[in-house]
Amino acid sequence: MTERVFRILPLVFLGLFYFYPLFFIFRISFAPKGTLDLAPFAELAADEYYWRVLWFSAWQAALSTLLTLLTALPAAFLFARYQFRGKTLLRAIANVPFVLPVLVVASAFSALFGPQVQGLGLMLLAHVFYNYTLVLRIVGNFWANLDPQLTQAASVLGASRIQAQREITLPLLLPAIGSAALLIFIFCFGAFGTVLLLAGPRYATLEVEIYTQATSFLNLPVAGALSLLQIVASLLLTLLYNRLQTRTAALNLRAAARVQRPLHGQMWLLWLLAIGVIAALIVLPLLALLIRAVIAAHTLGWGAYAALFSQASSALFGVAPIMAVQNSLVYGLMTVVVALGVGLPAAYWLSDKSASAIRTALLDAVFMLPLGTSAVTLGFGYIVAFSGPPLEWRASAWLVPFAHALLALPFVVRTLTPTLRSIDPRLREAARVMGATPAQAWREIDWPILARGIAVAATFAFAISVGEFGATLLLGQPDYPTMPVVIYRFLGQPGLRNYALALAMSCVLMLVMVAAFVIIERLRITDSEF
For residue range 22-49, list pLDDT tens digits in order: 888 888 878 777 777 788 888 888 889 9
* Side-chain half-sphere exposure of 423, counting CA atoms within 13 A: 25
CA-CA distance, 87 to 110, in Å (whole number)?
A: 29
Domain-embedded: residue 28: no
pLDDT band at residue 255 under the 50/70/90 scheme: very low
Domain-embedded: residue 173: yes
Domain-embedded: residue 263: no
Residues 106, 76, single domain; the answer is yes
Contact 462, 530 (CB under 8 A): no
Would you say residue 192 has pLDDT above 90? no
CA-CA distance, 334 to 385, in Å (whole number)?
A: 22
Residues 322, 283, single domain; the answer is no
Residues 319, 203, single domain; the answer is no
Residues 276, 345, single domain; the answer is no
Domain-embedded: residue 429: yes
Residues 347, 219, single domain; the answer is no
Q: Is the pTM of this model over 0.75?
A: yes
Residues 70, 8, single domain; the answer is no
Residues 289, 316, single domain; the answer is no
Would you say residue 300 has pLDDT above 50? no
Domain-embedded: residue 417: yes
Q: What is the DSSP string of 121-137?
A: HHHHHHHHHHHHHHHII
Residues 230, 286, single domain; the answer is yes
State which residues form the domain around 64: 38-145+157-254+268-294
CA-CA distance, 136 to 42, in Å (whole number)?
A: 43
Contact 484, 103 (CB under 8 A): yes
Helix H or strand E segment including 323: helix 323-351
Percent of the chain residues past pLDDT 70, beyond the cut? 84
Q: Give the list of residues 6+ apart from residue 18 with CB closer than 8 angstroms, or none.
A: 369, 370, 373, 378, 406
Residues 416, 290, single domain; the answer is no
Task: Tell me the CA distances in angstroms from 106 to 113, 475, 487, one per residue in order.
Answer: 11, 21, 10
Mean pLDDT of the chain: 80
Cβ atoms within 10 Å, residue 418: 18
Domain-embedded: residue 225: yes
Angle of helix 323-351 relative to helix 2-14, nearest 10 degrees? 120
Question: Across residues 167-180, what is the average pLDDT?
Answer: 81
For residue range 387-425, list pLDDT tens digits in order: 888 888 888 888 999 999 999 999 899 888 888 888 777
Would you say residue 67 has pLDDT above 90? yes
CA-CA distance, 439 to 427, in Å (whole number)?
A: 14
Query: What's the total number of domains in the chain?
Result: 2
Residues 241, 348, single domain; the answer is no
Residues 279, 385, single domain; the answer is no
Question: Across residues 286-295, what is the average pLDDT?
Answer: 78
Domain CATH code at residue 141: 1.10.3720.10
The three-class DSSP label of residue 530 is coil
- CA torsion sign for 408, 25, 379, 333 is negative
Domain-embedded: residue 419: yes
Q: In terms of Cα–Cα distance, which of 183, 236, 221, 239 is closest to 50?
A: 221
For residue range 477-494, list pLDDT tens digits in order: 877 888 888 888 887 777
CA-CA distance, 28 to 26, in Å (whole number)?
A: 6
The single-letter code of the amino acid at 194 is: T
CA 328 and chain centroid, separation: 17
CA-CA distance, 529 to 94, in Å (whole number)?
A: 19
Cβ atoms within 10 Å, residue 166: 12
Residues 114, 3, single domain; the answer is no
Burial class (CB in 10 A: 0-12, 13-18, 19+), 290: middle
